[in-house]
Amino acid sequence: MEIFTSWPSWAHAEGPLGQALPTPTVDALREAVAFARRQHGVQQRPTGRPYVEHLLEALEVAVAGARLDDRDLLIAIVLHDVVEDTPCTEAEVGKRFGPRVAALVRWVSKPPGGRKADYLASLAKAPPQAVLVKLADRTSNVQELQRMPWRFQRRYYLETVAHIMPLAAAHPWFAQWFGEWRARWRRVERWPD
């Protein structure tokens, strides 16, 4: 199972992105990363790491792992949490990055006050490109699950198996990655609640 943590900053990501993608796409991603960094500000991951590292991990998953190259899809991966986790609005994303990016971000943003299980179940009706955004996001989130407390590990593992792995089935690279991930983490199924 490949782990995607070699792009902790834009400086680390830019070279590999330049080798994999056209220059206009890399330029657009640079702008999206700067925008996301401003929006997320000092926000941190549960592990205490800067939030932008998660966004770059998800981008690395998409480009270096799944070999995705669609400009709007990759921008949406970088921006996937700005509407859910910051004051940024979908309209702001649309104005800055276009309606397609804004629509993808909307699909993967949990509605305020909504139940997470309902949100995850709704992804079964999402367009394939929005599903790819979610798959890149979740791959980043679960690849180093051991850093989290064991109760979180169990809950997140079961949630991933129930809601995310069925979405991955239609995308061969993600299906294989999550299959390997599940084999590595299957012991969590035996843990007590």
Which are the catalytic amino acids?
Answer: 84-85
Closest CA to 76 of 51, 105, 53: 105
With H, G, I as helix, E, B as strand and everything else as coil, classify residue 69: coil
Lookup: tokens for 188: 């969590």
What is the distance between the alpha carbons of residues 176 and 147, in angstroms, rounded to a whole number?
23
Closest CA to 33 of 66, 74, 92: 74
Closest CA to 171 of 76, 55, 67: 67
DSSP notation for 90-159: HHHHHHHH-HHHHHHHHHTSPPTT--HHHHHHHGGGS-HHHHHHHHHHHHHHHTTGGGS-HHHHHHHHHH
Is-contact 56 9, C-beta < 8 A? yes
